[in-house]
Structure 1
Amino acid sequence: MTIPELGWPRRTERLELRLPTDEAIDEVLRWRNHPDVTRWLLRTTVDPESFRKAWMASADDPLDHAVFVHFDSVVVGIASLGVQDGLGQREDGEPWRAAEGTLGYTFDPAYAGRGFATEVAGALLDLGFTELGLHRITAGCFAANTASARVMEKLGMRREQYGVRDSWHAELGWIDGCQYGILAEEWDSAR
């Protein structure tokens, strides 16, 4: 499968999704390691230079659709849709190549509760299914992260896995985790 060239920036109803820049990364680093942000992330803190290097490299990776979320002139979040192979037997055409996506998003807590995560995640689901031709997109969260679970459920993603004490949390110890997923045909019929 050939990954199409995508055009950026992109607008949603209230937001603009842009590729990373040094200035935008500086803005995100002001809130990224805050305890209200890191509470539900697997990587609790990030080294600023490693963070910068990884985000800047994503702009050149055709399988990593990583964006910075702008509201007016402020960077309020980061989001990504990573493309990968699905499971499949080797055969002619190998339709499982670059057929799945993994969705992620993180927002400045000062902008929580405004529906921005739902808006951005919906835009990335749409991009994945309509432009990238993905078959399936998944996302995971700690089960206690009810805000993230609500975002996925609002978008029509179904909880496919509930793992009992399968996720390590630095403050809480072993806690439950969830995996959500949606297929292209489900996204099409929900729109």
Structure 2
Amino acid sequence: MTASLAEVRWPITTARLTLRRLVEQDLEATWSYRRLPEVSEWITAAPEDFETYKTQFLESGKIDRDIAVEIETAQGPRLIGTVMLYVKDAWGQREVVEQAKSVEAELGWSFNPQFTGQGYATEAVSEVLRICFEDLKLRRVVAECFTANVPSFNLMERVGMRRESHQKASGLHRSGQWLDGYSYAILKDEWAQRRRP
């Protein structure tokens, strides 16, 4: 059976956050910060207008993989970021390939810079790791970024992921430059060990 976000009981609350499935009506809120230069510098696509953003987002299937992160304000809930959780197959030799299906996830994220430096991203990604390992029963979670995206790899390290590789000139940035990248991962056993008192 394929692990799916549909199997999780939403919404999920943490000490300060509510995590829920992203819906199409959230796209304007995500566009409001994803179009900012300090965010669009690192995300996969940086369209110039909302209609293009909406079309690309819906066609990519991200609406089915993204988790909305909200805080409670005096005016009610406010979306401050999203965490992508993409369940995928691990590599396996032909004789055991079925056992490698839907056993790992790739994470990605974007947060409104107005809310950085307050631990919200760490809290959200930590909870998504719990979802991966406890609710979805996955065995491994990975994440990647350009080496110049210091806040992103710092977040990976804060939540217990370890750097597995440093790839030289591995990704083409929209600036036209080939940039170095980092790959991070955490296994279920490693995550469980960190949670023990």
TM-score category (smaller protein): 0.7 to 0.9
Unaligned runs of 5+ in 2: none
The aligned runs of 1:37-186 (5 Å cut-off) are 37-45=39-47, 47-51=52-56, 53-54=58-59, 58-59=63-64, 64=65, 66-72=66-72, 73-91=77-95, 94-171=98-175, 173-186=177-190
Q: Secondary structure at the match of 1:13?
A: coil
Cα distance in structure 2, aligned partners of 1:160 and 1:56: 27
Please provide the CA RMSD for this pair: 2.1
Give the length in aligned residue pairs: 186
Task: Please say which of residues 74-83 and 171-180 is displaced more in the overlay.
Answer: 171-180
Q: Deviations over 1:6-39 (max 9, x none)?
A: 1111112211112123432221122221111111
Please report the TM-score for the alignment, with normalisation by the length of structure 2: 0.85
CA shift in 2, pair 1:182/1:56, >3 Å:
closer
Question: In the alignment, what sits opposite 1:23?
Answer: 25
Q: TM-score, normalised by structure 1?
A: 0.88
The runs of at least 4 aligned residues of structure 1 exceeding 3 Å deviation read 54-59, 90-93
Note the residue ranges of structure 1 that are not aligned, 5 or more in a row: none
